[in-house]
Amino acid sequence: MEASEAVDRPPAGDGPQDDILVADSVSKIFGGLVAVDDVSFVVPRHSIVSIIGPNGAGKTTFFNMLTGLYRPNTGAIAFNGQDITRVRPDKIMAQGLARTFQNIRLFGTMSAVENVQVALHSRTKAGVFRSMVRTPGVIREERESREKAHAVLKYVGLRESVFEDMSRNLSYGDQRRLEVARALVSDPSLLLLDEPTAGMNPQESAQLTDFMQQVREERSLTILLIEHDMKVVMGVSERITVLDHGEKIAEGSPQEVRENERVVEAYLGKQS
Amino acid sequence: MTVEAPPRGPTPQSGVGGVVESWRRLRRMRYFGLIAGALTIGLAALIPVTAFGSTSKELDVAIYAVTYVMFALGLNIVVGFAGLLDLGYVAFYATGAYTVGWFASDHFSAVNGGQAVNFGAETFLTQGIHLNFLLIVLIAMVISAIAGAIIGFPTLRLRGDYIAIVTLAFGEIATVLARNGADIKIGEYALTGGPTAIAPIDQLKLPFLTAFDSATDIRPYYLVGLGMAVIMLLVSFALRESRLGRAWIAIREDEVAAASMGVPTVRTKLLSYATGAAMGGAAGAFLGFYVPAIGANQFQFFFSILILSMVILGGLGSIWGVVAGAISLAVIDRYLLRETLKPVPEKLGLDFSTTEIQFGVYGFLLVIMMVLRPEGLFPERRRKVEMTQGEGTDETVFEASA
Amino acid sequence: MEAASIAAPARRPLDPVVQFLQQYGLIILLAAMPLYYGIHDLAADGSLTRLGNNLVAGVSSGAIWALIALGYTLVYGIIELINFAHGEIFMIGSFTAFELWSITFGLTPESAVAAIVGGLLVTLILTMITTGVLNVMIERVAYRPLRNAPKLAPLITAVGFSFILQNVGLLWQGSSQRSIPDLIDSGAAFLTIGGVEIERKDVLAVAVTVPLVLLLTTFIARSRLGKAMRATAQDPEAARLMGINVNTTISLTFLLGGLLAGAAGLIYALYQTNLWYFQGFQAGLIAFTAAVMGGIGNLRGAVLGGFIIGIISELATNRIGNDWVPVVVFSYLILIMVFRPRGLIGEETREAG
């Protein structure tokens, strides 16, 4: 009954100048509060780009607009050349834009495998009638989805012994891994990570940094991060965008941003 | 299945501990579920048919039990799997039963120039449309599914308690339509008979068999009902372990995260309403044949709460739990309250009839369950966690995208 | 790096229409009924008297709905939960009031005017206290223990209580509707303006409701407890940190809601001269529609919604038929939920979805 949601994606990259994501003068206003103020932003294909800024700068709000959870008040967003400004989150995800959440939002009472299988919803097509009678096609699709889930869980480093545990019982580190696995399993072309190293010690953060680069290479991904850990940001980003009070105040290479006065002020000002 | 933690201390060999340990080992055997299920169903088929008289009260209760199981399984899909609190389930009992009222009676008496239109049915009536039982069930399911989608549609952007109120309102509209249906006319045909029952209704007839005769033998009705309940049971299990079932549970847990993982929330929710409604419609159609009179007084808000109580008693989402809840309440409602306990109030010197306290009994049941054991009597493991530790969020996708 | 500019998404031609509908659609739908019947009347016999009578009856019955709606809105504002048992509190109020005035005080339509007035005042107070306390008890037993459980749990508990109370009503006054003596000769005309009759029951309804509503709003706006209520409604955690006893505040809210429902019950009994254990269920849904129509959580909205629903249901009763009133009112409820869940004067708060 349900046709596959996967939209044909344009071939990966026409060249190094191709931008996978373009946001043009995007704003978000809640009641009287301007959370994001006229931000324009591009993400070049295959790059690793970070968004940083003090707390409350509007970073997660911006992410939520990219993934379709919030509708921008002004501006437009394009992904792989297609306008996604007012598209539903599940459709955007089906087009290849996956994300993790700042506060882990796993389906707590589902197992790790089931969590990942949910993320395959847009890549599978068993409808209600065929599921009811369990046709051979459905059984095969279920088996394949379990296999894919197992594969990606192994890939992110989850031990097989916890695959069937309820995800809320997993350790914090495993939960974070599971979140990433969920985002990866659908073969996205752009991965949005919202504070992936929150709560991690330096060792784990370094591991994650390596993992990001590994994943970018092996799966031809583009990665967009929100991060607070400066070591990670400076270490892995090719370009950094800085938001403060909803506005873009700086953008450039790690070196440029580190030396930018406005950025230093924005952070130091908050720390006084 | 999760691997159970090894029992602490030395394995008990005797007494209650020994029994529990044996049970645990039995459960881990392969195909336990399949064998136990087949056994249960076999017994369920044989015992009532042989032990109870062919028109006995006990068999009547058994028929209601399997009917309630059907209704409860249907509601379980909406409330248990997808987490949408539907308080208007009586609407689907109505759509199912009235399909029988329209197509297995002389309601449409003027059709075909006053000659009966017969399609696989056995009837002594000379007018009206008379369709075969299976055909009617199919039609009932389609009508109910459409009604379910219509009822679900306004609730898509709403959260918990609002969904309850809107579905309740729809349920009320359905009962009012049933009650006043005699005045709603399309052409020359009334929608319903109002409080006056549409009767007589044809006896149930399966293809290649002669029609049943509920005056002399209701055992065939029981077997048909049991068969339908078993099918719905299998369907419930199949759906729960499917892509769609996971989508429903994901929505129930965290709708925003589900949408971000690619689950189309609108379509998935509507499917849950429609599927649950279709099952309710089929059950309603069966009951319409068994209680061969379709009158508006059968459709009250109380029915929605009755079925909800079964789902809650058994454990939201837990399929076997819901079955147990349905059977328990069937026995309580149709047997204990109406028969066994009837003499009690008088003996206690109180002046009321047991049937008069139905509401209070169910209300009390709901309160007790929520306060003492919100996860139900036989919860599935995830619900136990959810209900006792407040898992999950209430946020809808549409709140976010204002 | 410059952001490549993308063509702004084409504005779909229907957008301004949709916007207009969202802003004014509800108001248009509400005004449609009185307007339609007004025009119909003028065309039929050139007189608006019948419509006038409808409106008067609508406003006065609307007062009853307003009182009940306030109860819903107060509770929802503070704990974000619909008190499913609220309608039954109203029903118990009616039953209690009748019991008090007819049996305890032995008032009949033949009693002296002074006795009736005095008796009714005492009945009002006693009834309000009863229902107020009952509502507080329900909060303690059904809602408080489940405050941290998923929202489903207290909802179902409230439904359970609603049923228990309905059963109490059923055992008390029987399962069918029961006519009671018309204590104040409610249908007698009090005043006639331009052919439109204002009956005693209309005056009664408004005379009891207006002071109560004024008292309530003043209490909430001025008193310390009222401020505590508003603070808790806005942000329970912050209120707690400021030293406000949240539990007591919530109990107080339930008490106020119960008081109003009791008053509504008394008015209803005198107004309709009819008691039925099921009246709370229907009244509850209708009053809830009123609360939502005005904007849940908003006191003025509840009152406004009450009057509007009163007018609509009165028009439906008089013009279409008593049987169809639920369908008309609930259709409005569903439309509101779909197109304007925040109601007429509600803000886009985090709750109403």
Q: Would you call A83 and C9 a contact, using CB atoms and an 8 Å cutoff?
A: yes
Residue among C215, C217, C282 at smallest CA distance from C61: C282
Residue C350: pLDDT over 50: no
DSSP state of B345: H
Q: Do A22 and C348 touch (CB under 8 A)?
A: no
**pLDDT of B2 above 50:** no
Give the tens place of pLDDT for each residue, B6-55: 545 555 556 777 777 777 777 677 677 778 778 888 888 887 777 777 77
Task: Please check whether residue C206 is in contact with residue C63, taking contact to mean a CB–CB distance below 8 angstroms.
Answer: yes
- Using CA atoms, how far apart are residues A27 and A24, in angstroms rounded to an integer? 9
C9 — pLDDT class (breaks 50, 70, 90): very low
CB B95 within 8 A of CB B140: yes
Three-class DSSP category at B206 = coil
pLDDT at residue C343 in the model: 82
* pLDDT above 90: percentage of residues in chain C: 35
Instruction: Tell me the average pLDDT across A9-37.
Output: 75
Determine, yes or no, domain membership for B360.
no
pLDDT for the residue B40 = 81
CB < 8 Å to A86, chain C: 9
Q: Is B6 inside a domain boundary?
A: no
pLDDT over threshold 90, residue B170: yes
pLDDT reported for residue C89: 95
Residues of chain B contacting residue A107, judged by C-beta atoms under 8 Å apart:
249-250, 253-254, 257-258
Give the rounded percent of residues in chain C with a pLDDT score beyond 70: 94
Residue of chain B whose alpha carbon sits nearest to that of C286: B169
- Report the chain A residue with the minimal C-alpha distance to residue B233: A132
Q: Which of B242, B257, B381 sits opposite A107 (nearest CB)?
A: B257
> Measured in whole angstroms, how far is the alpha carbon of residue A99 from the centre of its chain?
3
Residue C348 has pLDDT above 50, yes or no: no
Cβ of residue C333 closer than 8 Å to a chain B Cβ = yes
Query: Per-residue pLDDT averaged across B314-321, rounded?
Result: 87
C37 vs C35: CA distance, rounded Å: 5
Q: Quick check: helix, strand or coil at residue B55?
A: coil
Number of independent structural domains in chain C: 1
Per-residue tokens: C295: 């904007």
Q: Answer left, alpha or beta for residue C195, where phi above 0 means left and psi between -120 and 50 means alpha.
A: left
By the 8 A CB rule, do C279 and C97 touch? no
CA distance, residue A30 to nearest chain B CA (Å): 9
CA dihedral B17, B20, B23, B28 (to 10 degrees): -90
Which range has the worst mean pLDDT, A85-89, A164-168, B184-188? B184-188
Burial string for A40-54 (b: 16+ CB within 10 Å, else e) reads: bbbbbbbbbbbbbbb
**C259: in domain:** yes
Q: Is residue A55 scored above 50 in pLDDT?
A: yes
Contact C171 B166 (CB under 8 A): no
Determine the residue of chain B that is closest to C85 in CA distance.
B363
Determine, for residues B366 and C160 on separate chains, whether the beta-carbon distance falls below 8 Å: yes
A32 to A35, A59, A71, B300, C340: CA distances (angstroms): 9, 18, 16, 47, 20
Q: Is the predicted pLDDT of residue B273 greater than 90, yes or no?
A: yes
User: What mean pLDDT comes out for the span B278-299?
Assistant: 92
The reply to whether C25 falls in a domain is no
Give the residue-averaged pLDDT of C339-343.
Answer: 81
Instruction: With respect to residue B335, please indicate whether it lies within any of the assigned structural domains.
Output: no
**B45-51 contact pairs (CB < 8 A, 24+):** B45/B223, B45/B226, B48/B219, B48/B222, B49/B219, B49/B222, B49/B223
**Residue of C224, C256, C257 lying closest to C243 (CA atoms):** C224
Cα nearest neighbour of C333 on chain B: B166
**Token pair of A39 as six digits:** 């931000």
Question: How near does any CA of chain C get to the CA of A77, in Å?
Answer: 8
List, in sequence order, the alpha helices (H) in chain C.
Answer: 15-45, 49-79, 86-98, 113-138, 152-173, 200-222, 224-234, 236-241, 246-272, 279-294, 299-315, 325-339
Instruction: Note which residues in 23-42 of chain C have CB less than 8 A from chain B.
Output: none
Could you tell me what percent of chain A has a pLDDT over 90? 53
Looking at residue B386, its pLDDT comes to: 64
**DSSP H or E run through B65:** helix B57-75
- Looking at residue A239, its pLDDT comes to 92
- Between chain B and chain C, the number of residue pairs with CB atoms below 8 A apart is 145
Identify all chain B residues contacting A121, using CB atoms and an 8 Å cutoff.
243, 246-247, 261-263
Q: Is A19's CB within 8 Å of C348's CB?
A: no
Span of B359-363, C96-100, C145-149, C204-208 with lowest mean pLDDT: C145-149
Confidence check: pLDDT of A132 > 80: yes
In this structure, chain A runs to a length of 272
Residue of C nearest to B300 (CA): C278
Average pLDDT, chain C: 85
Burial class (CB in 10 A: 0-12, 13-18, 19+), C259: buried
In a domain, B189, yes or no: yes
Asked if residues B157 and B398 have their Cβ atoms less than 8 Å apart, the reply is: yes
pLDDT at B394: 59
Angle, helices C152-173/C86-98, rounded to nearest 10 degrees = 20
Chain C contact for B256 (CB, 8 A cutoff): no
pLDDT value of residue A16: 46
Contact A109 B264 (CB under 8 A): no
User: Is residue A2 predicted with pLDDT exceeding 80?
Assistant: no
Mean pLDDT of chain B: 83
* Residue A179 confidence (pLDDT): 93
What would the pLDDT profile of C184-195 be if each residue is shown by its tens digit? 777 777 788 777
What is the reported pLDDT for C14?
62
Task: Answer whether residue C303 is part of any domain.
Answer: no
Closest in C1, C3, C348 to A24, CB measured: C3
Q: Which residues of B132-159 are buried (b: 16+ CB within 10 A; e: fewer)?
A: bbebbbbbbbebbbebbeebbbbbbbbb
Cα separation values, A259 from A50, A59, A212, Å: 16, 21, 25
ipTM value > 0.95? no
Q: What is the largest CA-CA distance in chain B?
A: 81
Closest of B379, B358, B253, B332 to residue B65, by C-alpha:
B332
CA distance, residue B389 to nearest chain C CA (Å): 7
Convert the pLDDT of each residue in C284-335 to its tens digit: 999 999 999 888 888 889 999 999 999 999 989 988 888 889 999 999 888 8
Write down which chains contact chain B via at least 3 CB pairs under 8 A.
A, C
**Domain that residue C125 falls in:** 50-280
Does residue A5 contact residue A122 with C-beta atoms inside 8 Å?
A: yes
Look at residue C38 in the predicted model and tell me its pLDDT. Answer: 82
B294 domain-assigned: yes
pLDDT of B12 reads 53
The domain total for chain B is 1
How far apart CA C247 and CA C232 sit, in angstroms, is 10
- Name the A residues in 130-189 with CB < 8 Å from any B CB: 131-134, 138, 141-142, 145, 164-166, 168, 182, 186
The domain in which residue B145 lies consists of 58-298
Contacts of B398 in chain C (CB under 8 A): 353
* pLDDT beyond 90 at B232: yes
Assign B119 to helix, strand or coil. Answer: strand
- Which chain C residue shows the shortest CA-CA distance from B376? C153
Q: Which of C3, C7, C8 sits opposite A40 (nearest CB)?
A: C3
Higher pLDDT pick, B287 / A199: B287
Of B77-91, B218-232, C206-220, C229-243, the one with minimum mean pLDDT is C229-243
pLDDT band at B383 (very low <50, low <70, confident <90, very high): low
Residue B286 within a domain: yes
What mean pLDDT, rounded, does chain A reach? 87
- Could you tell me the pLDDT band of residue C349, with boundaries at 50, 70 and 90? very low
So what's the pLDDT on residue B14? 65
Distance of CA C69 to the CA centre of its chain: 2
Which of C1, C6, C348 is the closest to A76 by Cβ?
A: C6
Question: Which pLDDT tens digit goes with each residue over B100-133?
Answer: 988 888 788 777 777 777 777 777 777 788 888 8
Residue B322: what pLDDT? 93
Per-residue confidence band for A12, with pLDDT thresholds at 50, 70 and 90: very low
Q: B270 lies in a domain?
A: yes
Q: Nearest CA to CA, how far is A34 from chain B (Å)?
A: 14
d(CA B374, CA B345): 30
Residue type, A259: E
